[in-house]
Amino acid sequence: MLFFSVLALVTLTVAVPHSKRATTFFNPNDGGGRMLTDATGGFGAADDLGEPLNVIISGTSSAAVLTDDGFLNYAQSLGFSFECLGLHLGGPQSANLGDGNGWVNQTVEYRQDYGNEEIGTCLESLIGGNHLRMFRQNGSSEDTGALFLAVSQEEDVADGHDIVANGYDIGRNALVASAIAVGGTNANGVSYSTTALNITGLLAAGAAGVNHDIATDGVTTLLTVTIL
């Protein structure tokens, strides 16, 4: 049974209700999936390594947040944006969210934008920083609409964008801290309020199966995002 602990709560401003789904997320482990991406091409084989899916955007969030455009805008409110000049560095990773889709490539990858949504990610590509990969749970068996994120802090280009020591936990914590900032977040005229809940039991703590042999604390943070 999963153990839930409250990380933080942000007071919600009363607003006109937005359409929401009924389910927060479905545990991929219960549907033959897993909470690690496929980073080495093994598609879940015993020796396959992956990145932890350490943040989930709940399917009960405001519906617009769960769309591609809506998630980009929300990510920009947290200091992430599209990759430098639209160019992707490195190969995409895939994930099996146990929803009936099997192994599916990441939907998008966003990088820390250092305060500039248009070109700031070029700086991240050079000096390193936080970045995320997003996967959507929308298969025929479990269409929750939840967004699963693999978040990590990475080195600069000279170090091949390897993950820094403890980089998975560091990346997750930095994103969550931005999301639950007092007063909420906003981008392009849209304001958000986010609550966070830490969940253990989805990911195993430690480095088993984790890319770069970097141990994690086994925590996944569930974010529920409301457009104000």
Closest CA to 9 of 173, 202, 222, 228: 222
Higher pLDDT, 119 or 210: 210
The predicted structure's pLDDT at residue 164? 92
**What is the spatial distance between Cα 202 and Cα 200, in angstroms, rounded to a whole number?**
6
CA distance 16 to 165: 43
- Does residue 72 surpass a pLDDT of 90? yes
pLDDT for 87: 58
Residue that wins the pLDDT comparison between 160 and 128:
128
Quick one: which of 98, 85, 84, 63 has its CA closest to 131? 84
pLDDT at 60 over 70: yes
pLDDT, one tens digit per residue, over 144-181 is 999 999 999 987 666 556 789 999 999 999 999 999 99
What's the mean pLDDT in 35-64?
95
State the pLDDT at residue 12: 32
Q: CA-CA distance, 215 to 173, in Å (whole number)?
A: 15
For range 119-139, the mean pLDDT: 86
Q: What is the mean pLDDT of residues 27-40?
A: 97
Q: Which residue has the tokens 């929308």?
A: 138
* Rounded Cα distance, 167 and 102, in Å: 27
The secondary element (H helix, E strand) that includes residue 198 is strand 190-200
pLDDT averaged over the chain? 87
Place of tokens 């990145």: 51
Residue 9: pLDDT band by 50, 70, 90 thresholds?
very low
- Give the structural domain span for 82: 3-227
Contacts 24+ apart (CB under 8 A), 39-44: 39/93, 39/211, 40/211, 43/94, 43/96, 43/103, 44/96, 44/103
The number of folded domains in the chain is 1
In 3D, which of 228, 165, 194 has the Cα closest to residue 8?
194
CA Rg, the chain, in Å? 16
